[in-house]
Amino acid sequence: MKKTRPVFNSSLDPVTSSLPDDIARNIGRIVSRHSYMEWVLGQVLYGLMEISIKQGRAVVRRPQPRQYAAAVEGLYAFHKLPGKVNFERLASAVEKADAALDTLLHSVFMRDGERKSSPLYLVRGSWSVGADLEAISQDAWPETPVADAAFMAKLRDDVEDAVARAEKLRETTDRLLRKSHEQRRTNPGLNRRSR
C-alpha cells in the first residue's frame, strides 16, 4: 500500500453526507470486532483475577496493550500456569488494532471538491495522535491515505489478528485455569484457602 503525503489542498472538503455503503460496512465491522476483542481480553483478565464479569466491568478498565500483556503475564506467574503465550506479539497485535480503530474514529473522510470523481481520503482529525510536525511545518497534510478497499482491508486485518490472538489467549487461559482449579479441588495440599 503506497502512502502519499499530498501538499495542502484547500479543495479537500469533508464528506458530510452518508459514506458509501462498502466503507460504512467496513467501519461497522471493524468497530464491532474491536469491541469484541476488548470483551475477550476483559474475560481473560477477570478470570485470572478470579472476579465476576460484573465486578470486572465496574472496577477494571483495560490498560494499554503492553501494560495489559504484563498484567496477564504476571497473573500467569501468580497462578503458576504453564501456558506458552507470546505476550509481546499479543501486545503488538492489540496496539495495531487500537491504531486501526483510532484511525477510523479520529479522522475525517474528505473528497477533492475540484475533481468530479474524487476518491475518499482519510485525514487525521485528532490533534494529539499521529501529528507529524515536520510535515505540518512544510504546509503539507500528515499522511492522507485513500480510503479504498485495500486500506480498509489492512485495518480489518489488523483488528482480526488481534481478535484471533485474544481468542487463543482466552481459550488457553480458560483451559489452564480449569485444570488448576480441579487440581486444587482434588489435592488439599494445593488449596490456597486452607492454609
Higher pLDDT, 111 or 170: 170
* pLDDT-derived band at 192, boundaries 50, 70, 90: low
- From the list 164, 41, 151, the residue with the least C-alpha distance to 104 is 151
Cell 496496539 belongs to residue: 95
Q: Note the pLDDT of residue 131.
A: 44
DSSP-derived secondary structure letter, 64? -
Q: Cβ-count burial of 158 within 10 angstroms (0-12 exposed, 13-18 middle, 19+ buried)?
A: buried
* pLDDT-derived band at 54, boundaries 50, 70, 90: confident
- In DSSP terms, which residues pair with 123 in a beta bridge? 108
Q: Note the pLDDT of residue 83.
A: 76
Q: Note the pLDDT of residue 133.
A: 41
- From the list 24, 164, 14, 27, the residue with the least C-alpha distance to 102 is 27
Q: What percent of the chain has pLDDT over 70?
A: 81
Q: Note the pLDDT of residue 195.
A: 53
Q: How far apart are CA 32 and CA 128, in angstroms?
A: 24
> In the chain, where are the structural domains located?
21-104+147-186
Q: How far apart are CA 93 and CA 71, in angstroms?
A: 16
* pLDDT-derived band at 94, boundaries 50, 70, 90: very high
Mean pLDDT of the chain: 83
Q: How far apart are CA 159 and CA 100, in angstroms?
A: 7
Q: How far apart are the first and last CA of the chain?
A: 59
* pLDDT-derived band at 168, boundaries 50, 70, 90: very high
Among the residue ranges 60-74, 86-100, 113-127, the one predicted with the least confidence is 113-127
